[in-house]
Amino acid sequence: MDTERLYSDIRSHLRDDPFSTEHNQSDPKWSLDPDGPLRHQGQIYVPDSNNLQLHVLQYSHDHPLAGHYGQAKTLYQVHLNYYWPRLPVFVKNYCKSCTTCSHAKPVHHRPYGLLKQLPIPEKPWNSISMDFIEKIPPSSSYTSILVIVDRLTSSCFSFRLTTRSHLNNSHNYSFSTSFPSMVSPATSLPTTARNSFPTSSSPSEPHWT
């Protein structure tokens, strides 16, 4: 990297950088050199324009003499001479995206676990999944739907609710007696869920059927 050209580009982009204009004279931690560079506690401020920050990081990380340091050493090298806001986050994201590091460096964490399949239910409705469809525009005071799906047969049925707490305050549903009339294939779930709301006759409430 041509250091003189980098300094020249930094000076030329300082005039259009709002961050440097804001901190030029208002903070004692900042100082302006006679030859142009703006410094933060002695480190040259690099504006976020024209990929200048990326060029500095590439020189400190990708250069043959740098040797593709890790996040801590790369941050140390950059911080010796340069500064910009959120520098540690910038260095962390750059090192994680470096393809050379990902191919050449070993992994230091424990191996990822293997995927474990859920056990297959022995009979219908022995294992179910439940989900709430909430914050629906009210229709006859109902704003939520409880959807219950059988994992073995993919059949489902739904209940209309005013709120999620409606389950605790309402009467106990008899699942065994409700199956014949309420069970439907999972592929028809949108229709089933939509039809679980009664048609509203009020002009201020939407029609769900």
pLDDT at position 108, please? 78
How far is residue 41's CA from residue 29's CA, in Å, rounded to a whole number? 5
**What mean pLDDT is reported for the chain?**
75
Helix (H, G, I), strand (E, B) or coil at 204: coil
Q: Judge: domain 3-104, CATH 1.10.340.70.
A: yes
What is the crossing angle of helices 52-61 and 71-81, to 10°? Answer: 120
What is the dihedral sign for C-alpha 170, 175, 176, 180?
Answer: positive
Q: Is pLDDT larger for residue 165 or for residue 135?
A: 135
Q: Quick one: tokens of 115?
A: 């995927």
Mean pLDDT, residues 124-138: 89
Domain boundaries along the sequence of the chain: 3-104, 128-195
